[in-house]
Amino acid sequence: MYQESFIDSLSIFIILGLIFGAIALMFEFGYRLALRFPSNEYSQSISPMATGLASLLAFILAITFSMAAAKSADRKELVLTEANAVGTTILRTGLLAEPYRSRSRELLREYVTLRVIEKKNEQEQKVNTVIKESEILQLQLWNQAVDSHGSTSPELLLLYINSLNEVIDVHTERVNKGIRGRIPVSIWFTLGLLTFLTIALNGVQVGAQNKGRALVAALPFALAFSLVLTLIVELDRPARSIIEISQQPLIDLRDSLDKVLYPDGAGKLKLTE
């Protein structure tokens, strides 16, 4: 189940401010440290090391960003996959005998309605409830398939069960990739340590020259790193502030259920409250 962490509870703009402040402090630490040993030669000897650290940090940032972006793309793709799987399962309920056909359709309608959370501020509060109730509905759907065994031909029932299995598998994959598939703590620790060393060493290099901080360059430098790190944090969080995983495929499926189930407009089921 999803347990909201401290980072997940913060606005992305607060996270940006915290990261920017931390980077500014790292730079100031290195700058003040260098003021105790001002030397132009000292600055020149640090330059190759600062460049090497910056290159290493850029490499780790690229890897981490790629991981976060790939996970985000997977979550988006899974929404479409789930909508297709549920849609196929709804169509294949027509292969079941009554009363299992109608009951399965009612359960699938309830399932689709449950899976759509349109209000962004409700996502974190409802995610555990949605997971629990979805698994209950999946069990009920499975029981309906088992109960229909005696009145539905095995070939037709197998087609329906295969679709239902895919719905259950996609749900499990969404839970794993959406909630548990986070960037490992070890990578965040390494990224944080490299950022500290790189920024602090740049501060030492500037301070060793004893010509002032050059804030006109230092502030954009800190802001650039802050924006990239904040974007990685945002992509890695299950509940987003500004980058959302679109629920449109499931919304479209929910809104078209009557047309899918009853193309002639007869026998429409009422939406579950």
255 in any annotated domain: yes
DSSP, collapsed to helix, strand or coil, labels residue 243 as coil
Cβ partners under 8 Å of residue 55, min gap 6: none
Let me know: does 268 contact 262? Beta carbons within 8 Å. yes
Number of structural domains, the chain? 1
Print burial letters for 245-271: b (CB count within 10 Å at least 16), e (below 16). Answer: bebebbbebbeebeeebeeeeeeeeee
| pLDDT for 169 | 94
Query: Distance of alpha carbon 80 from its chain centroid, rounded?
Result: 15
Q: In terms of residue numbers, what domain contains 164?
A: 6-260
56 in any annotated domain: yes
1 in any annotated domain: no
265 in any annotated domain: no
Q: How far apart, in whole angstroms, are the C-alpha atoms of residue 218 and residue 167?
A: 51
Running DSSP on this structure, what letter comes out for residue 209?
T
161 in any annotated domain: yes
| pLDDT for 272 | 39
DSSP, collapsed to helix, strand or coil, labels residue 36 as coil
Residue at token pair 């002639």:
264
135 in any annotated domain: yes
| pLDDT for 175 | 87
Q: How far apart, in whole angstroms, are the C-alpha atoms of residue 138 and residue 149?
A: 17
DSSP, collapsed to helix, strand or coil, labels residue 8 as helix
Per-residue pLDDT of the chain (273 residues; tens, 9 = 90+): 555 566 777 788 899 999 999 998 888 888 888 777 666 656 667 777 778 888 888 899 999 999 888 888 888 899 999 999 999 999 898 888 888 888 999 999 999 988 887 766 666 667 788 889 999 999 999 999 998 888 888 888 899 999 999 999 999 998 888 777 788 888 899 999 999 988 888 888 777 776 666 666 678 888 888 999 999 988 888 766 677 788 888 888 888 887 766 655 544 444 333
134 in any annotated domain: yes
Cβ partners under 8 Å of residue 190, min gap 6: 60
271 in any annotated domain: no
Q: How far apart, in whole angstroms, are the C-alpha atoms of residue 156 and residue 142?
A: 15
- Angle between helical axes of 154-175 and 123-147 (0-180°, round to 10): 160
Q: How far apart, in whole angstroms, are the C-alpha atoms of residue 255 and residue 249?
A: 10
The pTM score is 0.76
